Structure 1
Amino acid sequence: MVEAKKGGRPPKVTREEIVDAALKVGLDRATVRCIAEELNVTSMTIYNHFGKIDEIIDYCIMSIINDIIHNMIDSDTFEETLEKIAIKYFDLLCGNHTVLFRVIDGNVFPAGTTACVNTLISYGTSRGLTPAEALFALRSVIHAAVGCAVTNMSLRGDTAAPWIDKESAERLGSVEAPELDNLKLALMDRTLNVLDPLAGVNVALHGLRAMFGDRMKSAAAADSSVLSGSP
């Protein structure tokens, strides 16, 4: 909690303190009002740093994911690393209805998701994979990660998810519930809408680098041959 200063001046808070407060409150219950109360500041103080609650939630999610990425264990296989990150990411998405509805209804993922995917692709290429192979590995773990996140949501008794009405809420413990299948398919579809264009861009860039890299090597070899007087 941030202590108020004497003289009635509002206390100063940082973006990091706001994010920490949001995580403490819980992403499933985080609102500007709740975060302000946790920090003992006004809602306007929060709005001075973030335009709306969506931005705070996005920042929280990507901060958690980026922390996981930066602490990746090299001894794990690339697929194991991707699986851990993907499960956590989708678990966070399903843990907040505001974020989940934005993804499902508007195909709007948390800011920073694209940069996160590019980081993972770079990580894969640093371990000897091509961008296409890294994307294929990422796509391969998404289905399991989405299924795990949606199942976790159902086990929490979360009945406010899309397509889940009061009558079908009693069946939420069953992964076979049609409403859960719809949610999984929608999340998969939205995610691939993000990944597929990235796949094309990254593979194209990799091809360009390889092509120009080979040309540069050939040119350098030719120059060296001329300088040495070799035929």
Structure 2
Amino acid sequence: MTNILTMIENSKKAKNESIASTVRMPEWMHKFVERLALELDISKHEVMLKLLEHGAEAAQDRLDEVEKAELAQLALAEEVEPQPAVGFHILNTNKTHTDDDHEWMLANKAAAAFYAPWKLNINRIKKGEVVFLYENITGIVAYGRGTGEVQMRDHEGEKDECHYQVLEGFKILEQPISAAAIKKALDRNVVFLRTMSGMPDGQKVLDLIESKKAKP
């Protein structure tokens, strides 16, 4: 309860833009929201927003834990035996958190990731492999091929916390490829929230992209 109250107080100080949305919920949940709003003497809107934020943060933390575990397993596998090239990767530019990193990648024709262990994803990109840059909600907005040459730069004042590769043949798409279109092309589900995922069947996505007009 104290945590929710603190979050609500902090939200009153914030001036972030909000987007209108609707959600249907079970009757028991609606009654709980009403009861909590009455008890805290705040609006139902504030209660639902804070509960959603809290749940989203918990989900993101869990996704981070899973990704860390997977990266640790990949690192161990690499120590035993170098892994074969997968040919294709999809990299989330993390625009939900900041526009700056997303825009930097597009401006510098690069695939980048930040902080350990996520930045080590960039080290996995081998020369000639295709990297799709995925913007949350929008879809794949650009792509290029890895050079296998990992470079480092400071990020938010932290030394070498950005690993990146400048991509060869970099193209920005005039028409982004949506998440739905990607899933349809691959005929399977795709997790877009991870920093970077291998896409062994990525040739199907590349064929779809190259069938559309792209600009250099």
TM-score by length of 2: 0.29
Q: Which has the higher contact order (CA 8 A, sep 6+)?
A: 2
Larger radius of gyration: 1
User: More helix per residue: 1 or 2?
Assistant: 1
